[in-house]
Chains A and B, each alone.
Chain A
């Protein structure tokens, strides 16, 4: 044991000697400028490290990434059993209609759709008043590409929804009113036609749903569903307004 100890101290001594000789051999007075250069250089390196660290953090809290994750969660939620069906009518459940909004998070709670974005906290976690910026502002234009179409008059490849004006009643904010134009360009063998059909609509914050009333007398309206996270895209179903039967679908993108 003692031998090991002496060996250790010997080795330490040897190391010290080596270091001292190295320092002595390398020793020369660093000039004033050199010293400052060193300090500035080290500050530069430190700055670089700190900014790199920040970029790592930013990567994690990147809002775009959070939005994409939210969209994925919304798709899973759409597959799961709807969680707010307790007070719903059987016919409404069968038709997939929902009058209740899930507050979500770690504190599930169902509140009426009419309470979402009305300016009063109804969810315990306050979720119902957090996401109340209208995605369809006046001047916005959404262009939809056809998925399938069994009913429209012109069978167009694209439909454009142009939001002309938005009005929100101060005393009832959950359902803002919109005035929109449905613009359709279509070609056939005989002619090229171009229409811009004015109509009204509403946006429901609770369901992230855009409802456009039938612009023509064929009773075909548009129901656009945002996923609640990505507000640059929605799935638009053309439905018979009376039977609510969907008969065409377009995927809309913000232009």
Chain B
């Protein structure tokens, strides 16, 4: 395409050199393919190429999320700092040195003076939206002898009582892919809750006759997509395995 344009640009240049009144065709050509117009066409071709390269760059830029980065650093620094609030209480955030019981967080009433306990980002139920699939690698340190293996946590259902909103009751399916006696996947159904104040998801197995261990996940990376999880013994909360999960994204092009 652009070769043709260069050709026409050249012919335009040649024709334009001829005296305008000499021939009719010369006049016509000169009018049709003005050298400036041809040069302009070349610039447009250049712009087209630039736009294609910009598309690729845009894709790269999507991976860099400054706001997400700052949120993560903030969450991690806050975790290092700790709070002066007792266990089971929620710090009202920002510069407020106020603690409220975590039973009051996201219950629909403002309990903090700055209202932080009912803020949208605190009370975002997105981490436990039904249908979310979190996956990551389980690394066992105790209790069981397993190689590192992939674990998926699928949120299958949630319930939030109108008269007690500060928890979301969650049902989930936990599935692990490891080889044991030829069987490759091991899964169990679990139930539990999500606690807004701690951003913690707790899941314990239903009808546990197979001694599955509970899962405790902390969404402590400043977003709703990543969580530090542990496989724990239900009674003592002794940590048996580390599991860092990320939300699986369903690519829109898969549905095409």
Contacts and interface: CB of A to CB of B under 8 A. Distances in A.
B105 to A, nearest CB: 25
A124 interface: yes
A36 B43 CA distance: 14
Contacts of B54: 50, 53-54, 57
Given A39-B40, A60-B66, A69-B69, A76 B50 contact: no
Contacts of A40: 36, 40
B36 A36 contact: yes
A107 B76 contact: no
Given A36-B34, A61-B57, A73-B73, A108 B244 contact: yes
A50 to B, nearest CB: 6
Contacts of A57: 54, 57-58, 61
B50 A106 contact: no
A57 B37 CA distance: 30
B114 to A, nearest CB: 26
A125 B168 CA distance: 34
A107 B79 CA distance: 20
A230 interface: no
B254 interface: no
B31 interface: yes
Nearest to A69: B69
Contacts of B34: 32, 36
A242 interface: no
B16 to A, nearest CB: 12
Identify the interface centre among A43, A51, A80: most chain B CB within 10 Å of its CB.
A43
A74 B70 CA distance: 13
Contacts of B37: 36, 39
Chain B binding surface SS class: helix
A33 to B, nearest CB: 9
A54 B76 contact: no
A167 interface: no
B176 to A, nearest CB: 16
Interface in B112-164: 136-137, 139, 141, 148
Contacts of A60: 61, 64, 66
Interface in B225-256: 226, 242, 244, 246
B238 to A, nearest CB: 15
Contact of B40 (A43, A50, A51, A107): A43
A47 interface: yes
B24 interface: no
B64 to A, nearest CB: 6
Contacts of B73: 72-73, 76
Contact of B244 (A46, A47, A106): A106
B64 A66 contact: yes
Contacts of A109: 137, 139, 148
A87 B153 CA distance: 28
B85 interface: no
A77 to B, nearest CB: 8
B168 to A, nearest CB: 24
Interface in B71-117: 73, 76-77, 79-80
Nearest to A66: B64
A170 to B, nearest CB: 31
Given A50-B54, A107-B136, A61 B47 contact: no
A53 to B, nearest CB: 7
A79 interface: yes
A29 interface: no
A106 B134 CA distance: 12
Nearest to A87: B141
B6 interface: no
B206 interface: no
Interface of A: 32, 36, 39-40, 43, 46-47, 50-51, 53-54, 57-58, 60-61, 66, 69, 72-73, 76, 79-80, 86, 106-109, 124
Given A76-B77, A79-B80, A109-B139, 7 more contacts: A50-B47, A57-B61, A61-B64, A76-B73, A86-B141, A109-B137, A109-B148
The 10 closest A-B pairs by CB, nearest first: A60-B61, A79-B80, A106-B246, A57-B61, A108-B244, A57-B57, A61-B61, A40-B40, A76-B76, A43-B40
8 contacts: A46-B47, A50-B54, A60-B61, A79-B77, A86-B141, A106-B246, A108-B242, A108-B244
